[in-house]
Amino acid sequence: MLVDDVRKQFPALDRKVYGKALVYFDNAATIQRPLGVIDKWNEITSRSNANIHRAVHRMADEATEAYEASRNIVKEFIGAESREEIIFTSGATAAINLVAFSFGEAFVKEGDEVVVSESEHHSNIVPWQMMCQRKGAVLKVLHVDDKGCLDMDELDSLLTARTRILAVAHISNVLGIVNPVGEIVRRCHDRGVKVLIDGAQGVVHRKVDVKELDCDFYVFSGHKIFAATGTGALYGKKELLDAMPPYMGGGEMVGTVRFSGTTYAPLPLKFEAGTPNFAGAATLKPALEFAMSLRNEEISACEDAVKEYMFEKLSGDSRIKLFGTPDDIGDKIPLFSFCVDGVHHEDLALILDKMGIAVRSGQMCAEPLMDRFGVTGMLRASLAPYNTMQEAEYFIGSLDRAIGMLV
């Protein structure tokens, strides 16, 4: 499949904004949806809108089948051992909150420690802070260096006999750097520390095998990998999920309910209280199948060429300060956060918008990282496999023009 063929699958990419062809470079926030996903959503909502797992009628069967078929695909997609280890959530944030609560209840005591990195998204900081407050535990921070890489020397000194869990992004949503998660898991496990990996960006840009990684939890959002919004998954090792209490009660998460006490359903339903977003979850199957179909040499070569062009142009411009610059560009995804001397990120984003370019500006849900680099915000261009070299060239030219207007 060539990039042009890929683009044809995305109706949104064809549209114009302010009379100009859309250049969508905000993929790390949400990626556009291909036809297969749109069709699946329409099919479920127009033909098979029935509550899953309960009723015995045909429509409910169809909805349940679509929902569970997505669970199979998620399991294959990340290389999990069994379907029981895949919990559907409303996204990565919900998945982290679930683990922070239930793992905390089961395993964290007063005086225990939790480690997160300095480059985490707020969603991988705040749930842990809340849990630490509740349990009287201590939150510790793994710092990044000036290039944005995790300080791996600091890691060993952070892990103590009291450390229960470490939470880290597979790929930073601000720096675009692929963190050495395999190494982190090894070192943590050597010290008896569990590891949660926030794969919101990771699953989009790297092949993930949770068995090989040996991580204890891996979470991701559907809307960043072509599926509907309000979908996502939590992978957890079965023995851990079994030992953790439910996060929410009600719906299909029960075994039997008596006023004298309730027993819980087995995995994965134990963690799926209430009617889930079954129409959304059903789109995970076409979404992940589509993502897998893009994993070929031709598409990768195009993506790398665009990435290298963007990196060269942005890092070579003396007016621009690019954040997330690992020694090997192979450790970076096509995601570029930067500041321009004397120009406010919001002004740049507004002007680029009028040129038809969608980028993100602001703190990118990572205030501690903004503080680390001493900035109030950044501009972020994040690319997907459907973005072309032509778009990248238009972006670089437009950025130059916008800076010219603003200084």
User: Which stretches of the chain bind other proteins, using CB under 8 A?
Assistant: 18, 343-347, 350-351, 354-355, 361-362, 376-377, 405-406
Report in angstroms how near the CB of residue 10 gets to other proteins at its nearest.
Answer: 22
Q: What CA–CA distance (Å, rounded) separates 174 from 190?
A: 29
Report in angstroms how near the CB of residue 370 gets to other proteins at its nearest.
Answer: 12
H/E run at residue 321: strand 320-323
Phi-psi region of 206 (alpha: psi -120 to 50; beta: other; left: phi over 0): beta
Report in angstroms how near the CB of residue 346 gets to other proteins at its nearest.
Answer: 4
Rounded alpha-carbon distances, angstroms, from residue 112 to 98, 106, 144, 156, 285: 19, 13, 23, 17, 39
Residue keyed to tokens 């569990």 = 194
Q: Which is nearer to other proteins, 99 or 343 (CB)?
A: 343
Q: In whole angstroms, what separates CA 139 from the centre of its chain?
A: 22
Report in angstroms how near the CB of residue 380 gets to other proteins at its nearest.
Answer: 13
Q: Which is nearer to other proteins, 65 or 346 (CB)?
A: 346
Beta strands in 179-294 (DSSP E): 194-198, 217-221, 232-236, 254-258, 261-264
Q: Which is nearer to other proteins, 241 or 402 (CB)?
A: 402
Q: Does 339 participate in catalysis according to the annotation?
A: no
Q: What CA–CA distance (Å, rounded) separates 31 from 219?
A: 17
Q: Which is nearer to other proteins, 362 or 368 (CB)?
A: 362
Q: What CA–CA distance (Å, rounded) separates 232 from 230?
A: 7
Q: Which is nearer to other proteins, 284 or 403 (CB)?
A: 403
Report in angstroms how near the CB of residue 137 gets to other proteins at its nearest.
Answer: 33
- State the first-to-last Cα distance of the chain, in angstroms, to the nearest integer: 42
The CB density around residue 324, as the number of other CB atoms within 10 Å, is 27
* Residues catalogued as catalytic: 365
